[in-house]
Amino acid sequence: MNKPRQFSSTLESLVEIKSDDVAPPEPVQAVPSLSRVLSEIGSLPREALFLGIALDGLPVLLNLHDPAPGPLLLVSDAGAGKTDFLKVLAQGVQQMHRSEVVQFGVITNHAEEWEGLESSSHYVGVFPLLESRAQEFIHSLAVWAHTQRRSRQSVLLMIDDLEVIPQLEPATLHNLRWLLLRGTSHGVWPILTLNARRYAQVVDWIPMFRTRIFGRIEDESVAAALGGDKASALNQLAAGVQFSLRENGQWLRFWLPSC
């Protein structure tokens, strides 16, 4: 993750908050739109995937050409913005990248939440969980990734949610496990969500995610089991607006623009 340049005062004047403060007051709708934020930022590196805006006003980015962070796990309580986070990623791809450079596909039980993307050339498809099309999509990505060597093309595999994964067919589980372990070295970036309170259902899969992005988690014991600690103060995050990740041993809190 990196934060390459200073952001303007648009977000800095929104709400003044320090990393050890409680969640900011409502209304949440005060958060600027993604289009406005990207317009304020200006040019970003071609390999950058936009994740949000840090409290110091700098954009938080993922380098799609550096496989080291591995797959991303986005974990929070229900209703704390996991799906909105995925949608911001998808919209950021459309606004920042050419379709031949970055594309995305979504596996979800709520396809209606993704309506309106069909006309985008970045859009691979939205596939219902546990249906054959979703499993075929995972298989096709694994096949494609095996053929990639030094390609600069990236595909975001967004799965909303991790709890359903154990119900997949054995061949699909094999392909997904390979993508989680090797995908980012071959241009496929798995980004999965998890309802924090259901982590015990997929506890064997969680260690595969070196990078975990946290939304609000009320229960401190659940947060600790997933990799949080007292310093992370995940129960103080503004639901649907603030997220946090650990970077170089420190917690980085950032804002999510509105869709």
Kindly write down the DSSP assignment for every residue of 166-235, as one continuous string. GGS-HHHHHHHHHHHHHGGGGTEEEEEEEEGGGGGGGTTTGGG-SEEEE-----HHHHHHTT--GGG-GG
The pLDDT-based confidence of 249 (bands split at 50, 70, 90) is: confident
pLDDT for 162-181, tens place per residue? Answer: 988 888 899 999 999 999 99
Q: Half-sphere exposure of 116 toward its Cβ, with a 13 Å CA cutoff?
A: 7
Report yes or no on 3 lying in a domain: no
Report yes or no on 139 lying in a domain: yes
Report yes or no on 213 lying in a domain: yes
pLDDT for 8-39, tens place per residue? Answer: 333 443 334 333 444 443 434 478 888 899 88
SS3 99: coil
Q: What is the DSSP letter of 107?
A: E
| Mean pLDDT of the residues in the chain | 85
Domain that holds residue 206: 9-255
User: What phi and psi values does residue 253 have, to the nearest 5 degrees?
Assistant: -95, 140
| CATH number, position 107 | 3.40.50.300
Q: How many domains does the chain have?
A: 1
